[in-house]
Structure 1
Amino acid sequence: MRKLFAILALGCSLCMVACSSGGKTVTRIDENSTTDLSGKWNDTDSRLVADEMISGCLGSTKIEKIIGEMGRTPTVVIGKIRNKSHEHISVETFIKDMERALLNSGAVDFVANSAERAELREEVRDQQGNATEETSKELHQETGADWMLTGTINTIVDQEGGQSVIFYQVDLELTDLQSHKKLWMGDKKIKKFISKDSVKL
């Protein structure tokens, strides 16, 4: 009987070890903390690049001078941000980070992009004849943007064995929609060194 209990106890212990070894440990961290597990583009890169580049754009001497000469707050729309890198990068998250930086700056007004405007126009059209006259919004009353912000994300990868260097370059341009003059051009570079036994890019 003792042997039977001993065998059962050993079996339970092994089962507990086996079950626990395949489990996961989840720890909540500050969403603004800097984390870099894989070395690839992440939320920290997106947020920091957006904040730095928007601040650099709106704080440039030329843009400050143009805003002063306009005598009013310019309106900006974000155009296409093209991912030309070797990675899958959530461009939508990067755009949202730039939208937040633009709005929080207080230096410019901001309007919805082309995809968002199409949805908004559909809603306004639906209101015609369906919503009350007092609350129905009118067509052709949109605020036109003065400037458009566009850009690209590129990468260069240098890899040898278990080591690699990933070079990111984000280029942004601010263009006047009326004259098509380029008002500002900026870039942000990030270089990451990754060392591990097996690197998958």
Structure 2
Amino acid sequence: MRKLFAILALGCSLCMVACSSGGGKTVTRIDTNSTTDLSGKWNDTDSRLVADEMILSCLQSQKIEKIIGEMGRTPTVVIGKVRNKSHEHISVETFVKDMERALLNSGAADFVANSAERAELRSEVADQQGNATEETAKELHQETGADWMLTGTINTIVDQEGGQSVIFYQVDLELTDLQSHKKLWMGDKKIKKFISKDSVKL
């Protein structure tokens, strides 16, 4: 009987330790600007760094600087579609927001809401016409038209053998004049990642 009680007591003790340890799971908060690459796939660091570098490259190109100088004012840019043609599920919306932030923070250009956002804004302005006071209601047909549109694609090439793989990312962006449809700038950013582990699932 004593042995039985001893075994039960030991079992309860082990159960309490296991429960208190959370099943071996540890959560640690880290700096959101830190570089983390657990799976080797596209992540928040890639999105932020690519957006910053490509927007800077665009606005500092000699041709764009010359055009801005000839305009004599700050150009207005709208970000169009950025298509994910890669093999991964990539949050394109996050990448677009990173580009908008980089564009706005550069001070070299303004940007306006995209087509989906404009539809929601127009609905709100239209609703104000019959519901808001005359002093506060925003007028229709007073939007700022964009001068240029930025569009792009994200592509990948995967080379895999056994437990090793290489993922090649290429982001291509184009800046187009909305009046003439002329291509004003084209840029690309390449990222290559080598992944080595026992089992790679892509």
TM-score (norm 2): 0.96
Deviation at 1:4, TM superposition (A): 4.7
- Supply the distance in 1 between the matched residues of 2:113 and 2:25 (Cα, whole angstroms): 41
**TM superposition shift of 1:14:** 2.6
User: Which residue does the alignment assign to 1:2?
Assistant: 2
- Per-residue deviation, 1:17: 4.7
Deviation at 1:15, TM superposition (A): 1.4
Measured after TM superposition, the shift of residue 125 of structure 1 is: 0.4
Deviation (angstroms), 1:19 = 3.5
Tell me how far 1:12 sits from its aligned partner: 1.9
Cα drift, residue 109 of structure 1: 0.8
CA RMSD of aligned residues (A): 1.3
Q: Please list the CA deviations of residues 118-166 of structure 1 after superposition, one character each: whole Å capped at 9, or x if unmatched.
A: 0000000000110000000111110000000000000000000010000
Question: 1:76-122, CA deviations, whole angstroms, 9 ceiling, x for partnerless residues?
Answer: 00000000000000000000000000000000011000000000000
Structure 1 stretch 10-19 or stretch 93-102: which is displaced more? 10-19
1:34-71 deviations in whole A, cap 9, x for unaligned?
00000000000000000000000001111111100100
Is the deviation greater in 173-182 or in 9-18? 9-18
Distance between the aligned counterparts of 1:5 and 1:62, measured in 2? Answer: 84
Alpha-carbon distance in 1 for matches of 2:75, 2:12: 70
Partner Cα distance (1:166, 1:16) in 2: 44
User: Aligned equivalents of 1:36 and 1:20: distance in 2?
Assistant: 29
Q: CA deviation at 1:20?
A: 5.6
Stretches of structure 1 lacking an aligned partner (at least 5 in a row)? none
Report the TM-score, using the length of structure 1 for normalisation: 0.96
How many Å apart are 1:16 and its aligned residue? Answer: 3.3
- Secondary structure of 2:130's aligned partner: coil
| Structure 1 segment 74-89 matched on structure 2, within 5 A | 74-89=75-90
More off after superposition, 189-198 vs 2-11: 2-11
Count of residues paired in the alignment: 201
SS at match of 1:143: coil
Provide the C-alpha distance between the structure 1 equivalents of 2:132 and 2:103, rounded to a whole number of angstroms.
33
Equivalent pairs: percent with the same residue?
95
Report the Cα offset of residue 2 of structure 1: 4.8
Q: How far 1:3 sits from its partner (Å)? A: 3.3
Could you list the structure 1 runs, at least 4 aligned residues long, displaced by more than 3 angstroms after superposition: 1-5, 16-21
C-alpha distance in 2, partners of 1:23/1:136?
Answer: 57
Whole-angstrom distance in 2 between the partners of 1:69 and 1:102: 20
Cα drift, residue 23 of structure 1: 4.1
